[in-house]
Amino acid sequence: MGSITQSSKRSITNDDISSLKSLLSSTKATVLTPQDDAYSASIKRWSSAAQKPAGVVVVPTNADEVASVVKYATDQGIDLAVKGGGHSTAGVSSTNGGLLIDLNSKMRHVDVDLDKKLFIIQGGAAWGDVDQAGVKHGLATVGGTVADTGVGGLTLGGGYGWLSGQKGLVIDNLVECTIVLATGEIKKASEKENPDLFWALQGAGQNFGVVTEFVLKAYDQGDVFAGMLIYPPAPEIIEKVVTATNDLYTPDAHGKTKVAGRGAGGIAFARPPPAEGKVMLLAVIIYFGSEAEAKEKYKALYDIGPVVDTTAMVAYPVINTVLAPPIGLRASMKGTSFTMPIRPGFVAEVLAEYTRFTDGNDDTGISLVLWEVYDPNQVVAHDEGSFANRGWHLNGMICPIWTKEEHDPACRQWARDLTALFKTELEHQAKETGAGVDGGVGLKGKKGATMLYGNYDQYDEKSRDIFGENYARLQKLKAQYDPTNMFNKLFAVTPQA
């Protein structure tokens, strides 16, 4: 079966709006048009550059209402988008003139099953909702590193978090989903019920329907030692910070790291508020243990002498605000990858590019470049789902942030250029270690997928590269569950029976 592309879906008409209002008249769902006051809040996105004017917005309150709307959109061939957290900078939770289902407004409740140690999460919840529900009971789960990220988008794309060093990806902790298919059918998916669909949802879930409920494992979690150490980016300081980071997070011959799953964080370049506009080197520390243990573990970073130290024992929800940029600016998140150890000279090259870019345009001063570090053992140990990007590589993020639409092309191009620099470094590392470019620390993982995390918007990558050897199986499942390709916004899978 061939693919029906996104462009073949049509926009909303006035007749559609009338039909939807009639269809939902006996429900609690709300139908919003551009003339309604609440419409602007529904189409608002974390990045204003990803915002699009939907032809109509439906705000549902339960799965049955979602099912009615999805079936109508499928039957009528209408372009459909779903807003969970609205955090995608690629615009995949938005539609230009189509039908937007806004789960975030009225479907973001989180229940905690204390007996079974489970979170039951509605599809429109953000990770901050989960964090706040869990902390009341001393519980947490693997979730987004930024609190206002949506549970749905992150989970369905795999899901890294600060707890990944201990518990793997979000999908490794996923117990069950409730999903509305393109036909309007509501199904449960788990290891025992519709296991093929469950497999697809664990990494390529954005292609198969609207998930209205997630069930995730919950774990005991107390306070965490977290914060940032901020340094001037002098060459000798870069050398010391990178060396200390390498010492903590580089796996030994047996795959073990000194943080042993309890530490995470990263190094970054930014212009943080305390620096009054100056470029600074940031060392992010997230440690699941006591302050005394953390200070000993990260002693080398403290001995360098940061000019600002924000580290402290904090409640778990706070750690997902450490790297949270402001909401509503224009932003693009371009993902990349790297392997340990990080080469200090490469970090210096990135500093030069970051400084050149942000010095050259004063509208880009909040931009960020980040190397995320954690112990990858638990990510590699699992093999659940259609997520094809597991490996010993780690994730980098290039995040230009700006305010003026006229700067869109330049900011996105800078992200592409810096991504190319990271890719060249990855190739260099592969040659240096003798691992080659087809595995190990090369450009592809064991399932033939590009070593890139799809949730960090890979707007230049192809679906076949993101899903690797899993793509053919996904095509068959797509033909079964969504043959007309209603769900096509992010790494669309072409239905193929």
**pLDDT tens per residue across span 84-123:** 999 998 899 999 999 999 999 999 999 999 999 999 999 9
Confidence of residue 433 (pLDDT cuts 50, 70, 90): low
Q: pLDDT per residue over 391-407, tens digit each?
A: 888 999 999 999 999 99
Question: How many CB atoms sit inside 10 A of residue 338's CB?
Answer: 22
CB 244 within 8 A of CB 304: yes
CB 457 within 8 A of CB 447: no
Confidence of residue 456 (pLDDT cuts 50, 70, 90): confident
Is pLDDT at 442 greater than 50 in this prediction? no
Q: Is the preceding omega at residue 341 within 30 degrees of 0, hence cis?
A: yes
- For the chain, what is the total number of helices (H) and then of strands (E)? 16, 21
What is the per-residue pLDDT for 7? Answer: 53
Confidence of residue 439 (pLDDT cuts 50, 70, 90): very low
CA-nearest of 445, 304, 448 to 380 is 445
Is pLDDT at 461 greater than 80 in this prediction? no
Domains of the chain, earliest start first: 6-102 (3.30.43.10), 110-221+460-481 (3.30.465.10), 224-433 (3.40.462.20)
What is the per-residue pLDDT for 457? Answer: 61
What is the per-residue pLDDT for 3? Answer: 33
Chain-centroid distance, C-alpha 59: 23
Is pLDDT at 373 greater than 90 in this prediction? yes
- The residue-averaged pLDDT of 171-187 equals 99
Name, of 123-132, 323-332, 435-444, the range with top average pLDDT: 123-132
CB 311 within 8 A of CB 229: yes
What is the per-residue pLDDT for 448? Answer: 73
Report CA-CA distances (Å) from 450 to 320, 393, 442, 468: 27, 11, 9, 7
Q: Quick one: tokens of 38?
A: 């609440």
Opening angle at CA 239, ends 237 and 245, nearest 5: 100
| Alpha helices, DSSP H, located in 323-454 | 344-360, 377-381, 408-433
CA distance 395 to 335: 7
Question: How many CB atoms sit inside 10 A of residue 351's CB?
Answer: 17
What is the per-residue pLDDT for 459? Answer: 58
Opening angle at CA 239, ends 233 and 243, nearest 5: 130
Confidence of residue 438 (pLDDT cuts 50, 70, 90): very low
- Tell me, what amino acid is at 312? A
CB 142 within 8 A of CB 168: yes
**H or E element that contains 474:** helix 471-481
Is pLDDT at 125 greater than 80 in this prediction? yes
Q: pLDDT per residue over 191-237, tens digit each?
A: 999 999 999 999 999 999 999 999 999 999 999 999 999 999 999 99
Mean pLDDT of the chain: 93
- The residue-averaged pLDDT of 461-467 equals 85
Q: pLDDT per residue over 313-334, tens digit each?
A: 999 999 999 988 888 999 999 9
- The residue-averaged pLDDT of 12-24 equals 98
